[in-house]
């Protein structure tokens, strides 16, 4: 049975019911999307611009721009090196996600290896199914990646968006 969870919005603090794993409320999401459209339009209108310049011109902070970059939002509108940033693990320049393709691949291989090792142990634990075990593992990995992303994009970035709109 699904449980109904409530959360505080990471931007305005209002209590809301996330449908999936949203961290911000509907109102703030709309505002954020508006701001994103503004940023994308600026990049389109100013070829050769860089992340710092865009942030300054649109009134958001660098982290907001970097998060947009991580979501791959600039991939289709500019191939400028100015929108590349280092892979969290190896530092190679990338233009979407937290990791480069090589690091992602080695990470997946690691998960697979652990999963295989776990399967051997699962035989001894009859209370938990293989699927449940793998689910737990995937969940842990997801949390870990989330922590990495969070370290890069603190709450401060959201505050800046709301502040700039006053």
Residue 44 CA to residue 49 CA, distance in Å, equals: 9
CA 136 to chain centre: 20
* Minimal distance, residue 104 CB to Zn ion, in Å: 8
Q: How many residues does the chain have?
A: 166
Return the residue matching tokens 């911000």: 24
CB 18 → Zn ion: shortest distance, Å? 11
Nearer to Zn ion, 89 or 159 (CB): 89
The tokens describing 9, both together, are 């919005």
Measured from the CB atom, is 55 or 103 closer to Zn ion? Answer: 103
Q: Which residue reads 């100015």 in tokens?
A: 82
Nearer to Zn ion, 32 or 61 (CB): 32
Cβ count near 74 (within 10 Å):
23
Min CB(46)–Zn ion separation in Å: 29
CB of 53 to Zn ion, least distance (A): 26
Contact between 60 and 37 (Cβ < 8 Å): no
Closer of 71 and 101 to Zn ion (Cβ): 101
* Site residues (vs Zn ion, CB under 5 A): 9, 11-12, 14, 25, 28, 87, 89-90, 92, 100, 103
């Amino acid at each position: 049975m699904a449980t109904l969870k409530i959360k505080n919005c990471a931007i305005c603090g209002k209590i809301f019911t996330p449908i999936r794993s949203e961290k911000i409320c509907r109102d703030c999401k709309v505002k954020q999307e508006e701001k994103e459209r503004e940023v994308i339009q600026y990049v389109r209108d100013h070829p050769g611009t860089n992340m710092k310049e865009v942030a300054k011109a649109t009134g958001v902070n660098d982290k907001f721009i970097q998060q947009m970059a991580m979501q791959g939002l600039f991939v289709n509108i500019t191939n400028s090196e100015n929108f590349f940033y280092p892979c969290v693990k190896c530092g190679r320049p990338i233009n979407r996600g937290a990791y480069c393709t090589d690091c992602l691949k080695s990470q997946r291989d690691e998960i697979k290896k652990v999963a295989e090792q776990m399967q051997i142990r699962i035989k001894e634990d009859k209370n938990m199914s293989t699927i449940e075990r793998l689910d737990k593992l995937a969940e842990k990995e997801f949390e870990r990646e989330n922590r990495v992303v969070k370290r890069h994009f603190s709450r401060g970035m959201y505050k800046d968006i709301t502040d700039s709109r006053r």
